[in-house]
Chain A
C-alpha cells in the first residue's frame, strides 16, 4: 500500500518557539492532505484540509495563524505550530489522498509534540 511519512515522530520544544511537522507521500502524489489532532484517549479531530498549490481550509475553531499549513508540492505538506504553548501539546496525524487513484486515504505515523 501507499506510504505516508511524518517527521519528526517526536518533538519537544520550549514555549514560544515554532515547530514544523512534515508529511510526505513517499510513493504517490497527493492532491489533498488532511491534518488531524488527537488528544490522549480521544478521537481524531480534523484541523484542516490542504490542497496542493492553494490555501488550506481550516475547520471551525482552528486558528489558521497558529497552525500554518503549506502544501507546496504533490508529495509534501507541512504543519507549523507557531509560538507553541503547553496546550498545543498533542499527537498530530496527517493523511493523504492519492491523485487520480481510488481516492483512499493513507495516514502517517503521527507526530507527538510536547511543549514545555
Chain B
C-alpha cells in the first residue's frame, strides 16, 4: 500500500538552531513528493516539491528537503529556525507520479522556542 509516514508528532527546536522534520514514503514508481505548512485554522501553503533531478530541493521561507531514494525519505530542513516557523507540517506523495491526488502524512507540529 502506498503511504507516507511522519514519525514525529512534534519537533521542538530553539530559535537559531537547525531543524529537521522527517518523512518517509512507500509508493510504487517514481514519486512526486511535497511539503506543505499549515497555520491554525488556515489552508495548506506549498513549501517545496521533488519531481526529478537534484536530490536537494530548495523551497519557500528558507526551507529545503533532501530526496533519498535508497532510504525512501524526504526530510525537511532549515539551517536556522525562526519562532514564526512554528506550525503544522505535512509531507505528501502523489500516487503513481504526476500531480494526481495526494496522500498526506499525519503531520508534524514544529515548535520553535525563543
Q: Is the CB of B105 within 8 A of A43?
A: yes
Q: Which of B14-22, B23-31, B36-44, B69-77 contacts A (4 or more CB under 8 A)?
A: B36-44
Q: Is the CB of A107 within 8 A of B43?
A: yes
Check A49–B49 contact: CB distance below 8 A: no
Which residues in A have their C-beta under 8 angstroms from that of B90?
A: 43-44
Residue in B98, B101, B106 whose Cβ sees the most chain A Cβ within 10 Å: B101
Contact with A along B90-109 (1 / 0, CB 8 A): 10000000110111111100
The listed residue with most B CB atoms (<10 A of its CB), out of A49, A93, A104, A105, is: A105
Asked if B44 contacts A93 (CB within 8 A), the reply is yes
A-B contact count (CB 8 A): 46
Number of interface residues of A (CB under 8 A): 23
Return B83 CB to nearest CB of chain A, in Å: 21
Q: How far is the CA of A106 from the CA of B103 in the complex (A)?
A: 15
- CB < 8 Å neighbour of A106 from B41, B46, B98, B105: B46
Q: Which residues of B contact A49 (CB under 8 A)?
A: 101
Contact B46 A44 (CB under 8 A): no
Once the chains are docked, how many angstroms separate the CA of A33 from the CA of B50? 21
The tally of residues in B whose CB lies under 8 Å from a CB in A reads 18
B45 sits at the interface (CB 8 A): yes
Closest partner residue, chain B, to A102 (CB atom)? B99
Task: Find out whether the CB atom of A107 lies under 8 angstroms from the CB atom of B44.
Answer: yes
Instruction: Please tell me if the beta carbons of A110 and B41 are within 8 angstroms of each other in the complex.
Output: yes
The verdict on A67 contacting chain B, using a C-beta distance below 8 Å, is: no
**Do residues B41 and A104 form an inter-chain contact, with CB atoms below 8 A?**
no
B44 adjacent to A103 (CB under 8 Å): no
Check A6 against B43 for contact (C-beta < 8 Å): yes
Judged by a CB distance under 8 angstroms, whether A42 is at the interface is yes
A107→B36 contact, CB < 8 A: yes
A46 at the interface (CB under 8 A from B): yes
Q: Closest 4 interchain pairs by CB?
A: A103-B99, A107-B43, A107-B44, A109-B43
Give A contacts to B, CB under 8 Å: 1, 4, 6, 34, 42-44, 46, 49, 91, 93, 95, 97, 102-110, 112
Q: Which residues does B use to contact A, with CB under 8 Å?
A: 36, 41-46, 49, 90, 98-99, 101-107
